[in-house]
């Protein structure tokens, strides 16, 4: 999905696996935890029907963020913005998040370095969920998912690789794949999150505010940390066979 890189940024698929172990480790861990947990519906230990639904609710409550409980001061609750980053509520939730992490995480990790990227991911993810909880302090709904952390990766990617070409599928153009630079695609994505956050209810659903907080934190971190370094820009042209396609 990302192509037209300068020679300094071009990597083969094999080298990306070795140069971005944190990104692929996070993807592997999230997928493994999902498969053995109740949300996947594959583990017979959780039963089926009503028993499975009860197990899912208990699981999300234990490992997810419950805003009404977070600020009560218990040690367990203060850890939940971290544990919730590795819990997903459905197959679509998991696959959507992992796709975004796969596309934007590897190059961001290469640019930041492994340890810094890991701390950045966990820290921004924690603060994104904390920000959502603070804005919905009375909510008793469990919040799970890596969206806040991955949104931070998107924000950092926008600063670090503004000219990277991203293949986008636009519904109103019959999902015709079109390539746009990151400085076009990612601000539009953030604007959609802003509009959705303004219409979101306090019940179950997507935590758009966590996306916005994470995106802003990620961009701010990259701006402060890499303000005096050269950002990677796209090469003026590339052969079609050299581009990565979805």
Provide the annotated active-site residues. 147, 211
Helix (H/G/I), strand (E/B), else coil: 168: strand
Separation between Cα atoms, residue 100 and residue 246, nearest integer Å: 12
Number of Cβ within 10 Å of residue 246's Cβ equals 11
Bridge partners for 143 per DSSP: 65
Separation between Cα atoms, residue 109 and residue 45, nearest integer Å: 37
Rounded to the nearest 10°, the torsion over CA 158, 162, 164, 166 is 50
Separation between Cα atoms, residue 241 and residue 165, nearest integer Å: 15
Paired sense of beta strands 176-181 and 165-170, if any: antiparallel
Separation between Cα atoms, residue 236 and residue 100, nearest integer Å: 25
Number of Cβ within 10 Å of residue 220's Cβ equals 15
């Amino acid at each position: 999905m990302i192509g037209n890189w300068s020679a300094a940024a071009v990597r083969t698929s094999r080298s990306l696996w070795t140069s971005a172990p944190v990104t692929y480790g996070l993807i592997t861990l999230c997928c493994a935890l999902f498969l053995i947990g109740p949300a996947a519906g594959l583990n017979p230990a959780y039963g089926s029907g009503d028993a499975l639904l009860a197990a899912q609710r208990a699981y999300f409550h234990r490992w997810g963020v419950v805003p009404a409980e977070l600020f009560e001061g218990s040690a367990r609750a203060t850890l939940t913005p971290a544990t919730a980053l590795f819990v997903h509520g459905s197959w679509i939730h998991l696959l959507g998040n992992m796709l975004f992490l796969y596309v934007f995480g590897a190059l961001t990790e290469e640019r930041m370095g492994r340890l810094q990227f890991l701390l950045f991911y966990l820290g921004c993810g924690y603060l994104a969920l904390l920000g959502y909880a603070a804005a919905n302090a009375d909510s008793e709904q469990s919040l799970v998912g890596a969206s806040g952390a991955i949104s931070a990766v998107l924000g950092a990617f926008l600063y670090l690789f503004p000219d990277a070409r991203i293949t986008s599928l636009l519904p109103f153009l019959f999902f015709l794949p079109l390539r746009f630079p990151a400085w076009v695609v990612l601000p539009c994505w953030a604007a959609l999150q802003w509009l959705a956050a303004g219409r979101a209810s306090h019940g179950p659903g997507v935590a758009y505010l966590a996306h916005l907080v994470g995106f802003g934190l990620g961009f701010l971190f990259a701006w402060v940390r890499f303000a005096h370094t050269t950002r990677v820009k796209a090469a003026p042209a590339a052969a079609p066979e050299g581009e990565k396609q979805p």
